[in-house]
A and B are shown apart, each in its own frame.
Chain A
Amino acid sequence: MIRFLLRRLALLAITLLITSAVIFALTQLLPGDVARLILGREARPEAIAALREDLGLNNSVPQQYIDWLTGFVTGDWGRSFVSGNPLIRPLVMDRLGNSLRLAGFTLLISVPLSVFLGVISGLNENKFVDNAISIFTLSVVGLPEFVTGLVLINVFALGLGWFPASATAPADASLGDWIRQLILPAITATFVLMAYIVRMTRAGVIDELKKSYVRTATLKGLPRRTVIIKHVLRNALLPTITVVALSFGWLIGGLIVIENVFSYPGLGRLMTNAVERKDIPLMQAVVMVVIFFFAIANLLADVVYALLNPRIRLD
């Protein structure tokens, strides 16, 4: 187990190293001179030259990469290009906290709900309930997030006034306020995730129900409930773990539309802002953080999968 973890962590480090190089290379391809971008079109050539020297832009590209990477690893993530040139790290960390909160809350809602619906669907393969669940989940996943988000805002925020329309909570807000603000974006994200998790769970249940061990369990005389919960679900839910882990990665870095619709200050929105402003150091930092969480979620999924599946040996 420990050897497995060490190997996987080493692999994770390599993954991050490679992606960091790719990201860095891609940002090099972006058109325009960074110094001019910062100082504006009217800047004097001397000022630009001075800034270029200051930013290390005159060094060779590999040298720039190594400087950036060492900075990143040692915690010096540099400064943003936007006015005021704030430090990047506190900014990203703050947004990361918000994203983690939203991701966690969304999973709390979507996983139990989707797994429940998936199990019901799988147990009633091709019957009315199954079809109804399939139609519902597939139609909400088909709707773009800005549509479901806006409908939810119109009905529950503007119409009924139960929840706030914008999810910009102050840092010192109470837990209740936090939850009230997270509910609408979390539901919107759940609509997207639900179909994947429901389909996966449904397929798992249907697959497992066909296996001979289910017949063995039934012919032991076990009640149907025990056969399903103890024997079938134990195996049927294993593939769902992977889907949940992938969803977590998406929730951290991929909620660009949802965060914009609800003006939620998460990493997704920070990223769009960075792109709009060609704020390259910020972009690099956000992407690195998102990829880190993606990789960690996958590693966790593999560990949990292996712990629950005795057929997989970790070594």
Chain B
Amino acid sequence: MTQTTPIIEARALSIEYKFGRVWLNALHDVNLTIYPNEIHGLVGESGSGKSTLALALMRYMAGNARISGGTIVFDGVDITRTTPTEMRAIWGSKIALVPQDALASLNPSYTIGEQIAEIGRLHLSLDARTAWACGIDMLRRVKIADPEAVAARYPHQLSGGMQQRVTIAMALTTKPRLLILDEPTTALDVTTQAVIVDLFRELIRENDAAALYVSHDLGLIAQLCDRVTVLYGGEVMASASIENVFKHPIHPYTISLLASLPRPVNPTHGMETRLPTIEGVAPSLADRPKACVFAPRCPAAIAICHTEKPPLEQINAERTVRCHRWREIADCTLVIDTAPKLIEMSAPPEAGMVLDADHLEKTFGGESMFGRLTKRNGVHAVDDVSVHINRRSTLGLVGESGSGKTTLARLIVGLEATDDGNLHLLNAPLNAAVDARSRDELRQIQMIFQNPNDAMNPFMSVGETLARTLKRLSSQPMTTAQIDARVAELLESVRLPMDYAARYPTELSGGEKQRVAIARAFATTPALIVADEPTSALDVSVQSVILNLLKDLRGQHGTSYLFISHDLKAVAYLADWIAVMYLGEIVEEGTSEHVYTMPSHPYTEALISAIPVPDPTIKSKQIRLHGDPPSARNIPTGCRFHTRCPRKIGAICETDVPPYRDAGGEHFIRCHIPVEELARLQQDSPNPILDAQI
């Protein structure tokens, strides 16, 4: 790498937060250098300090934070010593932020146009009319169709992808030298994310800017960035070019993190796999180890790691690492085992049917008197959907937001009543509404929710939460001693220490809370567990632990899962059957292997191609779905997907409903293109994600 002058350089930066009377170190001795035209990735789990660092580079800190050491040199000036007035001249003009939550980051009371024009008036000294025109021009540059109309709208009237485009337009108005992108696509669908990331790449190059891209998604970093810094416990663990970090990682944390990414595996017959995981939890601010922060969880930790903090070593011009044992790792004398574990399959799927959902229908709002009066269409969330789940098997349900997958889950659990269709549980008819279901039926179907924080009563201890489920749903009355014993058993099954029974939700980490949610779901040994995005709110290293746990428990209890996720890799890892939903309809279903390795429906193909591959040497297939999914109020005629389909064959797609064809081996596809043709298209351009080895 040619050593030009960096745009921004943080040296030995330390930041402290004040809690009560003590100052706690949030960032310790952090070095970060970004060169012109570079997209620099910043990876870390929650609590690692990545957002603190990203904002500190703009000299923007929380009220209880202070810089306790080090310098940040931007454009030749140490901005740790500038006045607020001087910073205001830099903010929005030379450094701009693209925030994580676009809707929350836009003022709800002003139009989009005004919020962009404000920047032009302030930094470019434009008059009101020119600033407005400049704003419209910016909207056009972030590829918003009909920018004049969008400029007159308010933030809540736009879709998530559009809102994020607006924040990009705002950040780029002044052609800043440095862009700070703080998880800008985390809240978006994978298809939208792919389009937005393309846009970043293009605009950053075009503007001759440098960027810091903060993310927990290693795949995204690999596909977008030139260099990457890995943060853990407020310290830099490693920093290197993207190829080095992903192909030749030398820090145990980086190695373990990459190994724990969920991915589909094809084990030999009768065996199944477990993902490698990082044991333990990330330390909180108050109890970070004095020596190496990663040592307590490190698979390669030795005595010195627990007594002495390793220095951040500069290996060569572009690579730094903070580890006592990096030399051993680099010259391969120390190998950290990262291969997925193969274990004997304790309980293979069985033929017996657990759940049979036939021709389910659900429309929201269409039936009400008000809806009829105003002649508004209802939202047809689930349209003639049938799913079948066998004993001990897992049905993975994927689709963008608004595809109806969560509604389908709620219909099965009974939280919403079906408009039409039949449900059968263990071959017996099942009532549609949850309050009409018997205790026995309730016991057989349990649910795990996406956000463990909202799913637990904050005033109930873990033990009370579990005991309550047992008391309410057990088939015969249990004594207190029996309940206590069962609670202990459940905690053990999700690998939580016994004394956690006395803890309250606020005393648990996100992963621990989700384990309690899983324990609660298993309390009644149900036949079916509906898990709605159970890992999306969790950190990468925790996600693999939860996925493994779900796999183990499925084997032990013979439970079936309906596993809903937008993360196709997680679905492919856990599910043996995948159904893909689009606008309330299943467009493709089949075995996990078929759907994931031979995604035949153009929509599935696009979904899979949108997954960023955590391997910088593999560029994924560039299939992009433009525009947002149509509203479920106005479902397109013919094939629902024709408005966005990259493989549309003609008028037939707009007029005729496509057939649901069997492509052989119980692989069904809803498309006008003949199945042989779809298979041929896949062979011509196989998906490179399948070659990714990490």
Whether the Cβ atoms of B93 and A221 lie closer than 8 Å is: yes
Query: Which residues 219-238 of A have a CB within 8 angstroms of B?
Result: 219-224, 231, 234-235
Stretch at the interface among A10-18, A267-275, A306-314: A306-314
Whether the Cβ atoms of A235 and B104 lie closer than 8 Å is: no
Selected contact of A212 from candidates B90, B91, B105, CB within 8 Å: B105
Report the minimal beta-carbon distance from A300 to chain B, rounded to whole angstroms: 20
Report the minimal beta-carbon distance from A25 to chain B, rounded to whole angstroms: 31
Report the minimal beta-carbon distance from A144 to chain B, rounded to whole angstroms: 38
Check: A180 CB closer than 8 A to any chain B CB. no
Selected contact of A215 from candidates B60, B109, B122, B170, CB within 8 Å: B60
Check: A216 CB closer than 8 A to any chain B CB. yes
Whether the Cβ atoms of A221 and B108 lie closer than 8 Å is: no
Selected contact of B104 from candidates A211, A221, A222, CB within 8 Å: A211
**Which B residues are CB-close (under 8 A) to A231?**
107, 110
Evaluate whether A234 and B109 lie within 8 angstroms (CB atoms) in the complex, with A216-B97, A220-B119 already known. yes
Check: A213 CB closer than 8 A to any chain B CB. yes
Whether the Cβ atoms of B106 and A221 lie closer than 8 Å is: no
Report the minimal beta-carbon distance from B688 to chain A, rounded to whole angstroms: 36
Complex CA–CA separation, A285 to B156 (angstroms):
46
**Which A residues are CB-close (under 8 A) to B106?**
213, 216
Check: A169 CB closer than 8 A to any chain B CB. no
Check: B396 CB closer than 8 A to any chain A CB. no
Selected contact of B108 from candidates A220, A222, A311, CB within 8 Å: A311
Residue contacts A-B, CB under 8 angstroms, 11 given: A212-B99, A213-B107, A213-B108, A216-B99, A219-B96, A220-B118, A220-B119, A222-B88, A223-B88, A234-B109, A311-B108
Pick the 3 closest A-B CB pairs, nearest first: A221-B92, A220-B92, A221-B91
Encode contact with B along A202-222: 1 for CB under 8 Å, 0 otherwise: 000000000111011111111
Given A219-B60, A221-B119; 14 other pairs, CB 8 A cutoff:
A212-B99, A212-B104, A213-B108, A215-B105, A216-B99, A216-B107, A220-B92, A220-B122, A220-B170, A221-B88, A222-B92, A235-B109, A308-B109, A309-B108
Encode contact with A along B100-133: 1 for CB under 8 Å, 0 otherwise: 0100111111100000001100110000000000
**Most B-side CB within 10 Å, residue of A212, A217, A219:** A219
**Which B residues are CB-close (under 8 A) to A217?**
107
**Which A residues are CB-close (under 8 A) to B118?**
220, 222
Check: B315 CB closer than 8 A to any chain A CB. no
Complex CA–CA separation, A311 to B92 (angstroms):
27
Selected contact of B122 from candidates A213, A222, A310, CB within 8 Å: A222
**Which A residues are CB-close (under 8 A) to B58?**
219
Binding site for B on A (CB under 8 A): 211-213, 215-224, 231, 234-235, 308-311
B118, closest chain A residue (CB)? A220
Check: B154 CB closer than 8 A to any chain A CB. yes
**Most B-side CB within 10 Å, residue of A211, A212, A231:** A212
Complex CA–CA separation, A277 to B123 (angstroms):
71
**Which B residues are CB-close (under 8 A) to A219?**
58, 60, 91-92, 96-97
Check: B649 CB closer than 8 A to any chain A CB. no
Whether the Cβ atoms of A235 and B107 lie closer than 8 Å is: yes
Q: How many residues of chain B have a CB within 8 Å of chain A?
A: 28
**Which B residues are CB-close (under 8 A) to A235?**
107-109
Check: B145 CB closer than 8 A to any chain A CB. no
**Which A residues are CB-close (under 8 A) to B89?**
221
Query: Which residues 166-195 of B have a CB within 8 angstroms of A?
Result: 167, 170
Report the minimal beta-carbon distance from A226 to chain B, rounded to whole angstroms: 9
A222, closest chain B residue (CB)? B122
B180, closest chain A residue (CB)? A219
Whether the Cβ atoms of B104 and A213 lie closer than 8 Å is: yes
Report the minimal beta-carbon distance from B52 to chain A, rounded to whole angstroms: 13
Report the minimal beta-carbon distance from B8 to chain A, rounded to whole angstroms: 15
Whether the Cβ atoms of B60 and A234 lie closer than 8 Å is: no
Report the minimal beta-carbon distance from B170 to chain A, rounded to whole angstroms: 8
Encode contact with A along B426-465: 1 for CB under 8 Å, 0 otherwise: 0000000000000000000000000000000000000000
Query: Which residues 214-251 of B have a CB within 8 angstroms of A?
Result: none
Complex CA–CA separation, A223 to B93 (angstroms):
13
Report the minimal beta-carbon distance from B284 to chain A, rounded to whole angstroms: 22
Complex CA–CA separation, A43 to B605 (angstroms):
97
**Which A residues are CB-close (under 8 A) to B107?**
213, 216-217, 231, 234-235
A234, closest chain B residue (CB)? B109
**Which A residues are CB-close (under 8 A) to B60?**
215, 218-219
Complex CA–CA separation, A217 to B108 (angstroms):
12
Complex CA–CA separation, A213 to B163 (angstroms):
13
Whether the Cβ atoms of B122 and A311 lie closer than 8 Å is: no
Query: Which residues 478-520 of B have a CB within 8 angstroms of A?
Result: none
Complex CA–CA separation, A234 to B108 (angstroms):
10
Complex CA–CA separation, A224 to B107 (angstroms):
16
Whether the Cβ atoms of B91 and A309 lie closer than 8 Å is: no
Query: Which residues 526-565 of B have a CB within 8 angstroms of A?
Result: none
Complex CA–CA separation, A212 to B184 (angstroms):
13
Whether the Cβ atoms of B108 and A310 lie closer than 8 Å is: yes
**Which B residues are CB-close (under 8 A) to A220?**
91-92, 118-119, 122, 170
Whether the Cβ atoms of B105 and A216 lie closer than 8 Å is: yes
Whether the Cβ atoms of A221 and B101 lie closer than 8 Å is: no
Complex CA–CA separation, A211 to B105 (angstroms):
7
Selected contact of B105 from candidates A213, A222, A234, A311, CB within 8 Å: A213
Complex CA–CA separation, A310 to B111 (angstroms):
9
Report the minimal beta-carbon distance from A255 to chain B, rounded to whole angstroms: 34
Whether the Cβ atoms of A311 and B99 lie closer than 8 Å is: no
Report the minimal beta-carbon distance from A8 to chain B, rounded to whole angstroms: 16
A217, closest chain B residue (CB)? B107
**Most B-side CB within 10 Å, residue of A211, A218, A224, A308:** A218
A216, closest chain B residue (CB)? B105
Complex CA–CA separation, A307 to B99 (angstroms):
28
Complex CA–CA separation, A53 to B109 (angstroms):
62
Complex CA–CA separation, A217 to B105 (angstroms):
9
Selected contact of A310 from candidates B93, B96, B101, B154, CB within 8 Å: B154
Complex CA–CA separation, A310 to B156 (angstroms):
9
Complex CA–CA separation, A167 to B636 (angstroms):
71
**Most B-side CB within 10 Å, residue of A211, A220, A234:** A220
Report the minimal beta-carbon distance from A10 to chain B, rounded to whole angstroms: 15
Complex CA–CA separation, A283 to B432 (angstroms):
55
Report the minimal beta-carbon distance from A126 to chain B, rounded to whole angstroms: 11
Complex CA–CA separation, A227 to B304 (angstroms):
51
Complex CA–CA separation, A212 to B89 (angstroms):
20
Report the minimal beta-carbon distance from B368 to chain A, rounded to whole angstroms: 15
A213, closest chain B residue (CB)? B107
**Most B-side CB within 10 Å, residue of A211, A213, A222, A308:** A213
**Which B residues are CB-close (under 8 A) to A308?**
109
**Which A residues are CB-close (under 8 A) to B101?**
212
**Which A residues are CB-close (under 8 A) to B93?**
221
Report the minimal beta-carbon distance from B587 to chain A, rounded to whole angstroms: 33
Report the minimal beta-carbon distance from A228 to chain B, rounded to whole angstroms: 13
**Most A-side CB within 10 Å, residue of B84, B91, B104, B105:** B105
Whether the Cβ atoms of B109 and A221 lie closer than 8 Å is: no
**Which B residues are CB-close (under 8 A) to A216?**
97, 99, 105-107, 167, 170
Complex CA–CA separation, A211 to B104 (angstroms):
7
Report the minimal beta-carbon distance from A232 to chain B, rounded to whole angstroms: 9
Report the minimal beta-carbon distance from B166 to chain A, rounded to whole angstroms: 11
**Which A residues are CB-close (under 8 A) to B91?**
218-221
